[in-house]
Amino acid sequence: MPVLCTPAVAVPEHVVTQAETVELGRRMFAGHPHLALATRMIENTGVLKRHLIRPVRETLTSVDFEHRNRVFEQEARTRVPPVVEQALRLASLAVEDVDAIIFVTCSAYQMPAMTAWMINEMGFRLDTTQIPIVQLGCAAGGAAINRGFDFCRARPGSNVLIVSCEFCSLLFQPDDLAVGNLLSDGLFGDAVAAAVIRGDDAVPGLLLEERGSHLIPNTASWISYDVTNSGFHFRLHKGVPGAFRDAMPVLTKFVAENGRNLPELDFYAIHCGGPRILDALHEPGGVPREALLPSLATLRDYGNIASASVFDVFRRIAEAGPAEGDVGLIAGFGPGITMELVIGTWTGGPALSDTGASHVVR
C-alpha cells in the first residue's frame, strides 16, 4: 500500500504580522465603508503572522498579470529545489526513483508547467509522468495526495513526488475594494511544500487506505477568482461558513464507511483556511478542539497557505510522533466548493528526521 512520507515545508523570509496588516489596511483603505468589517474578520482569523516572498513595500505595489507570473516563475525556480531535495531525503529516495511529479498552485499560470523545468534542471528521469494542477485552489493539497494515491495503486511500486508552490501574496490587488479581497489581504501567506508518496512501506508514514471527493452543489461561485488584466481577484461568498457546516454529514459518512467514527480518530490534518472550517469540525462534527491544534498552529504561524496547508499540518503531526496504528484524516477544502479526503494509518515507527528539512526559512 502507498505511504505518504513526512513533508518538507519552507516559508520565505519576509514577515508581516497581523497588527502590521491591520495598520496597513487602515492607511490604504481609509474611508472604505466595509473597512471595519474586514478588519474584524482579519483579527478573528487567528493569523498572527504570514511569510511573503517579497518585502511588504514591494508586495503592495500594483502590477499587471505578466509581472506577477514572471515573479512566480523566478521565485519558484529558486525556492522549490531545496524543498524537493529535503522531501526526497525524508522519503529515503533519489530523483531517479520518482515516477510522477504532481505540481499544484493557485497563484500563477505557466505553460509548460514547472514539472518540465524540474525534469530538465533537477535530474528527474525523462519518462517521469507530469501532473500539474492549477484550478483547485486550497483543495489541491488533498487532491494531489489522492491523485498520487491513485497513481500508486494503478502502478504498484511507483513513487510520486508532490510539490505545492503557493505565493498567495502575488494576488494582492490594492485597487480591489471587495470585502472578500480585503479579507484575503490579511489571511493568505506564501509557502512551498513537498512530500513523497512511496509505493511501499519501507519508511515511516501514513499508509493510505481510502480517498474521497465531494462537491457541495450550487456553490461554484462562492470561492472563486475574477481574472482581469491585473491578475486574479479573490472572491468569497458570505455563505461559505454555513456550507462547511452543511458538509459535515458527508465527511462523517466518509469516515464511517471506512469503519471509523469521525470524533474518535487519532489525528486530523485539516486545511486551515480559516477558523470557521475548524469550528465546523468541532460543532457539529464532534472533533475535540485539542485535536485541531496542529491546524490552528499552521493558521497562526503562516496564515492560509492554500494547497500547502495540509502538508504543513501533517508535518507537525508526523514530527510529534504518531503511534504505530494511529488512524488519521487529511481533508482539503476549496473552490467548487470541493472537499478532498483521505484516511490512513500511521506505520513504520517514528518519522524520519532531516535537520532543517521540515521547516526552513529562506
Nearest to 11 by CA among 190, 155, 228, 279: 190
Flag whether 146 is in a domain: yes
* 135 and 279 co-located in one domain: no
* 209 and 194 co-located in one domain: no
Nearest to 222 by CA among 311, 288, 310, 139: 139
Rounded Cα distance, 237 and 222, in Å: 5
Write out the residue range of the structural domain in which residue 252 sits: 205-346
* 60 and 116 co-located in one domain: yes
- 298: domain CATH number is 3.40.47.10
Active-site hit among 138, 165, 168, 272: 138
Flag whether 359 is in a domain: no
Rounded to 10 degrees, the C-alpha dihedral 19/22/24/26 comes to -140
* 158 and 65 co-located in one domain: yes
- Asked which of 198, 230, 260 is the last residue of a domain, the reply is 198
* 160 and 248 co-located in one domain: no
DSSP for 238-292? Answer: TTHHHHHHHHHHHHHHHHHHTT--GGG-SEEEE--S-HHHHHHHHTTT---GGGG
Flag whether 358 is in a domain: no
For 3, phi and psi rounded to 5 degrees?
A: -125, 130
Flag whether 95 is in a domain: yes
Q: Are 52 and 190 in contact (CB under 8 A)?
A: yes
Determine the pLDDT at residue 183.
75
* 162 and 308 co-located in one domain: no
Flag whether 354 is in a domain: no
* 42 and 160 co-located in one domain: yes
Alpha helices, DSSP H only, in the chain? Answer: 18-28, 35-43, 56-59, 65-90, 114-122, 140-154, 179-185, 240-257, 275-282, 293-302, 309-320
Flag whether 356 is in a domain: no
pTM metric for this prediction: 0.94
Residue with cell string 507537525: 316
138 is catalytic: yes
* 122 and 246 co-located in one domain: no
Flag whether 156 is in a domain: yes
Q: Which sign, positive or negative, has the C-alpha torsion 218, 223, 228, 231?
A: negative
Rounded Cα distance, 13 and 73, in Å: 18
Determine the pLDDT at residue 185.
77
* 152 and 261 co-located in one domain: no
Q: What is the DSSP letter of 201?
A: -
Cell numbers placing 334: 476549496
Determine the pLDDT at residue 256.
96
Per-residue pLDDT of the chain (362 residues; tens, 9 = 90+): 899 999 999 999 999 999 898 888 888 778 787 788 888 888 888 899 999 999 998 888 878 889 999 999 999 999 999 999 999 999 999 999 999 999 999 989 889 999 999 999 999 999 999 999 998 989 999 999 999 999 999 999 999 999 999 999 998 887 777 777 777 778 899 999 999 999 998 999 999 999 999 999 999 888 888 888 888 888 877 888 788 888 899 999 999 999 999 999 999 999 988 788 888 899 888 999 999 999 999 999 999 999 999 999 999 999 999 999 999 999 999 888 999 999 999 999 899 887 544 454 54
Rounded Cα distance, 234 and 168, in Å: 10
Query: Could you tell me what percentage of the chain is helix, strand and coil, using 3-state DSSP and rounding each to the nearest 5?
Result: 40, 25, 30
* 167 and 26 co-located in one domain: yes
- Asked which of 148, 168, 198 is the last residue of a domain, the reply is 198
Cβ neighbours for 77, distance < 8 A, ≥ 6 positions apart: 114, 117, 121
* 221 and 281 co-located in one domain: yes
- Asked which of 198, 233, 253 is the last residue of a domain, the reply is 198
CA 76 to chain centre: 16
The count of structural domains within the chain is 2
Instruction: Taking each helix axis as running N to C, give the angle between helix 309-320 and helix 293-302, from 0 to 180 degrees, rounded to the nearest 10.
Output: 120
Flag whether 361 is in a domain: no
* 174 and 231 co-located in one domain: no
